[in-house]
Amino acid sequence: MIFEIKALSSAGEVVVTRVDAVADTAARREMELRGMAVFQVRAVQPGTRLRFAPRSGNLNVLAFTQEMLMLLRAGLSMVAALEAISEKEKNAGARAIVESLLLKLRRGGRLSEALRESGGGFPAILIAGVSASERTGSLDESLQRYVDYASRLDEVRGKITAAMIYPVLLLVVGLLVTAFLIAFVVPRFASVYRESGGDMPWASALLFDAGRLIGTHPLEFASAALAGLLALVAVFSMRATRTWLGRRIRALPGVGLRVRIYELARLYRTLAMLLRGGTPIVPALAMASSMLSGAMREQLAQTSRQIAQGEPISRALESNGLTTAVGSRMLAVGERSGSMADMLARIADYHDEETTRSLEWLARLFEPLMMALLGIVIGGIVILLYMPIFDLAGSVQQ
């Protein structure tokens, strides 16, 4: 659930931000872990409207960060770099966000404050990295860390999408072929058999009755199918539905473990980036909580409390079920060597590769199963179409 929070930062500034948390107490605790004094928490009901295209005001944060990094390393000042990005930006909404950043900087504000107040959807981890770099003077290094982090996440998401494309195409093509057979082929066979006046098997008769009904009212059935599809999309766009579906998926044997490993990889990669940028571990855990599902967020909050009380990071993560057997050993090594950020990044890489291998295996298993299922459905329809002919041929031979 999304909560809008008004808080007082350690610098004495009033900050308004939004936090995704399971309850208002969890949202308040997350902000307090960031060192802010919360004085108002308000639930924001998520909209259920359908979005078939991105809003025009959205800014591609990764592309913006890459452009900023390139221009800064080319020798431009921060203001000059933002002016160049604003001039080339064709999207009016995105240009307005960049211009709001420029306005804040020209008034003497800091870039981290401008990013936070712009409304451009800049993630908290990017803002935290920029804020830390303002104290150390290494803005380009902070931007590079975020670019590497976001690019790696996009790469993993791309692999997941690529693994799902072929099965989804198979399903869509199979549904279209089935719809064509029932809506166009079956009614024509039904008219031929009706004129012959012979008896037919009950399964074929049921199929022909359905075909005649659809053929008689094609627009009504097409409208009903479209309305059902839109209703299904609307239901799955609701947060409650996605949460319920996520819980059911995580409860599946084998699949739930892979989803958990994927979430842990995102958590470790986020923590690695924040620690490299100079963010302390407790605030880093609070900012990284958005990488996890509801139940695991509670585990992460308990982990944060244990670490704040002096518990070692590896032991706190392991005791709350936020590690794997391999990850736990690697975390212990990272603590002993003093290279926790690098070790977290290596664990994330290891789990990402494990997730990729699992997806490839599932795709190879799912594709023949989907083809077999579609073959049974389409083949069954064809057999039912020709069963009266087979019966007629058998009666003639007798």
Residues 95-146 have pLDDT tens digits of: 888 888 888 888 888 888 888 877 667 887 788 788 878 776 778 888 888 8
Residue 9 in tokens: 């930062």
**CA distance linking residue 237 with residue 61, whole number of Å:** 23
pLDDT at 346 over 50: yes
**Average pLDDT for residues 368-382, to the nearest whole number?**
84
Residues 234-255 have pLDDT tens digits of: 887 777 777 777 777 777 777 7
pLDDT at 308 over 70: yes
pLDDT at 367 over 80: no
Q: 4 forms bridges with which residues in the sheet?
A: 18, 42
Q: Give buried/exposed letters for 183-198 (b at 16+ CB in 10 A, else e).
A: beebbebbeebeeeee
**Phi, psi (rounded to 5 degrees) for 4:** -95, 125
**Average pLDDT for residues 298-308, to the nearest whole number?**
87
Q: What percent of the chain is predicted at pLDDT more than 90?
A: 0
pLDDT at 55 over 80: no
Q: What's the one-letter identity of residue 268? A: Y
Per-residue pLDDT band at 377 (split at 50, 70, 90): confident
Say which range, 47-56, 104-113, 195-204, has the weakest mean pLDDT: 47-56
**CA distance linking residue 379 with residue 373, whole number of Å:** 10
- The DSSP call for residue 45 is P
**CA distance linking residue 343 with residue 337, whole number of Å:** 10
Q: Mean pLDDT, the chain, as a whole number?
A: 78
Decide: 102 and 86 in contact? Cβ < 8 Å: yes
Strands of the sheet containing 14-20, edge to edge, are 14-20, 2-8, 37-44
**Phi, psi (rounded to 5 degrees) for 72:** -65, -40
Decide: 286 and 124 in contact? Cβ < 8 Å: no
Residue 387 in tokens: 């069963």
Q: Which strand (E) or helix (H) includes residue 174?
A: helix 139-180
**CA distance linking residue 373 with residue 378, whole number of Å:** 9
pLDDT at 50 over 50: no
Higher pLDDT, 376 or 33: 376
Note the maximum CA span of the chain.
99
- The per-residue pLDDT for 175 is 83
Per-residue pLDDT band at 8 (split at 50, 70, 90): low
Nearest 5°: the CA angle 114, 117, 123 is 90
pLDDT at 375 over 60: yes
Decide: 170 and 161 in contact? Cβ < 8 Å: no
For helices 139-180 and 61-73, angle between their N-to-C axes, nearest 10 degrees: 150
Q: Among the residues of 239-339, which ranges form H helices?
A: 239-251, 255-276, 281-288, 294-308, 313-319, 325-337
- Domain 137-398, CATH among 1.10.490.10, 3.40.250.10, 1.20.81.30, 3.40.30.10: 1.20.81.30
For the chain, domain boundaries? 1-45, 53-122, 137-398
Higher pLDDT, 88 or 255: 88
Q: What percent of the chain is predicted at pLDDT more than 70?
A: 84
pLDDT at 74 over 50: yes
- The per-residue pLDDT for 351 is 87
Residues 274-294 have pLDDT tens digits of: 888 778 888 888 888 777 776
pTM of this structure: 0.62
Higher pLDDT, 64 or 58: 64
**Phi, psi (rounded to 5 degrees) for 39:** -125, 0
Per-residue pLDDT band at 392 (split at 50, 70, 90): low
Higher pLDDT, 49 or 108: 108
**CA distance linking residue 205 with residue 199, whole number of Å:** 9
**Average pLDDT for residues 340-355, to the nearest whole number?**
87
